[in-house]
Amino acid sequence: METKNIQYTEKFEDIYTNVDYNKKRYQEMSEKFQNLHGVKPDYFVRAPGRVNLIGEHIDYMNYPVFPFALEQDSLLCFTYSDDELIHIDHMNSEEFHSAVISNDPAKRSETIASLTPKQSYIKYFIAGYCSGIDGKVSSYKGLKVLIGGNVPLASGCSSSTSLCVSSSILGVFANKSTINQAELLENIITYERSLGTACGGMDQTISLLAVHGKALFIEFNEFAKIESVQLPHGVSFVIANSLTPSAKLETLGKRYNKRVSECRMACKILMDKMSIKAEKPFTNLRQLVRNNETLEEMQEKVKTLIEQKVYTKEEIEQIIGTKLEDFLQGIPQSELVITQNNDYYPYERALHVYSEANRVYQFQKTCFDTQLTDEEKIPILGKLMNESQYSCDNLYDCSSDKLNELINICRKNGAIGSRLTGAGWGGCTVSMVRTENLQDFLQAVKTQYYEKNGLTCDENILFATAPANGAMVYKNIEF
């Protein structure tokens, strides 16, 4: 039952490199499903988490990013149900409670509003599930679904998006939706944004479209510009979870959506100072590049046109000539930003965005440079990763003491580049390490960060990783 717009396989080896470990996961899930429903699941759907190598907090300003997919994924298995309902259970039933919900996308908001706190993970399922079938299918299937996964939660590895994407694939596959891939991707981004985060499209794009063995350079200016990139041989990428989670939806007002708002303020200040006239104020910093200015030139404009200081709400309103309540329209839950803050940093945020975008292009250029050997590329890439971390910490203020401690330990023990990955304020770091030093590196980080802080560490907390596949449906033959 192949569907053109999604990847489908009947061979387990097509999905994973670490086959034995993952077979065990599927087996456990199938057993739980059988305990719940008395039958084996017909299909599994997986969508990966991701690590971003460079390009942080710039996707929502339409600048490119450089992620690759992890083998760690959100995993769903299902059979059809005779009623018109979706029966949802979770592998971790103590933390994540079951629910029976409507299968009709028109009831999306109503169903989300009825969830209890321990069922709130289901809103990602609903957003994803509806994104590929809303308006595309005339009747909807009933389903029995079990949800699991091993992407670290609230840790910058895209656990929520991987659930959205796997649920979206489930909706499309189970209901035979003919939605094309580009529209599906756009819808997943829009539906996930409707849950509250003013996110860009990095996580959804990589989770849906990742290519085994390659990182992706993803441009948001033109939808089609996605290049798969071979990373240099001789290095491994290590994820280390600081074990200080940063729950995004609970901190939107002070963190993620505040940064999006500050970028928008910077955009308006620059627009006025550059005498750019437009019907509506621009919403992203890339729109200000009108005459092929380089990213270095844009940084100079920030330095000369925006005063470096902390701005209050009143000062911002005076400069932009509008009430913040009106100005931030379109940013989900912007009222939280306004009520929770009276300190805004447009200078620093804009400087981060233009300099980080510049680093992503340099990273891409270096990877593709046929004049350079891998040995020559490695230190250049490492330096760019370290500079990105500096900018995230000092200009974007999205690092944390624990992330900085972990990154310093990684660098001290041989990481050529080390930085936070994802939204930050906690969560995971990514380090580029010579493969020949990998085992010593892992041991040193284990002792100096985890043991020293009294933390236990397993294969989903500190691990070397390589680019994995994107979302896929697996027909259950084995489990």
Q: Which residues are catalytic?
A: 203
Taking a C-beta distance cutoff of 8 angstroms, is the pair 316, 267 a contact?
A: no
Taking a C-beta distance cutoff of 8 angstroms, is the pair 102, 112 a contact?
A: no
- Considering the rule CB under 6 A, would residue 56 count as an interface residue with ligand NG1? yes
Nearer residue to ligand NG1 within complex by CB, 414 or 427: 427
Min CB(276)–ligand NG1 separation in Å: 25
- Considering the rule CB under 6 A, would residue 67 count as an interface residue with ligand NG1? no
Contacts for 125-128 with beta carbons within 8 Å, 24 or more apart?
A: 125/88, 125/163, 125/164, 125/167, 126/101, 126/167, 127/164, 127/167, 127/188, 127/191, 127/192, 127/194, 127/195, 128/163, 128/164, 128/165, 128/166, 128/167, 128/168, 128/170, 128/171, 128/188, 128/191, 128/192
Min CB(313)–ligand NG1 separation in Å: 24
Min CB(299)–ligand NG1 separation in Å: 19
Query: CB nearest ligand NG1: which residue?
Result: 422
The H or E element containing residue 446 is: none
Min CB(271)–ligand NG1 separation in Å: 22
- Considering the rule CB under 6 A, would residue 197 count as an interface residue with ligand NG1? yes
How far apart CA 403 and CA 474 sit, in angstroms, is 36
Segment lying near ligand NG1 (by CB under 6 A), choices 50-58, 114-122, 229-237, 376-384? 50-58
- Considering the rule CB under 6 A, would residue 71 count as an interface residue with ligand NG1? no
- Considering the rule CB under 6 A, would residue 60 count as an interface residue with ligand NG1? yes
Nearer residue to ligand NG1 within complex by CB, 73 or 203: 203
Both structure tokens of 452: 């020293």
**Which residue's entry shows tokens 């993803």?**
218
Residue 345 φ/ψ, nearest 5 degrees: -125, 65
Alpha helices in 54-144 (DSSP H): 108-113, 122-131
Taking a C-beta distance cutoff of 8 angstroms, is the pair 350, 295 a contact?
A: no
How far apart CA 326 and CA 77 sit, in angstroms, is 44
Min CB(204)–ligand NG1 separation in Å: 7
Q: State which of residues 119, 161, 364, 476 lies at the interface with ligand NG1 (CB under 6 A).
A: 161
Q: State which of residues 62, 158, 389, 429 lies at the interface with ligand NG1 (CB under 6 A).
A: 158
Residue span 222-251 as binding mask against ligand NG1, x where in contact by CB under 6 A, dash where not: --------------------------x---
Q: Which of 432, 461, 437, 457 is nearest to 447 (CA)?
A: 457
Alpha helices in 3-50 (DSSP H): 19-37
- Considering the rule CB under 6 A, would residue 422 count as an interface residue with ligand NG1? yes
Segment lying near ligand NG1 (by CB under 6 A), choices 19-27, 53-61, 304-312, 450-458? 53-61
Nearer residue to ligand NG1 within complex by CB, 143 or 468: 468
Segment lying near ligand NG1 (by CB under 6 A), choices 88-96, 156-164, 216-224, 267-275? 156-164
Three-class SS state of 430: strand
Interacting residues with ligand NG1 (CB under 6 A): 52, 56-57, 59-60, 156, 158, 161, 192, 197, 199-200, 202-203, 248, 422-423
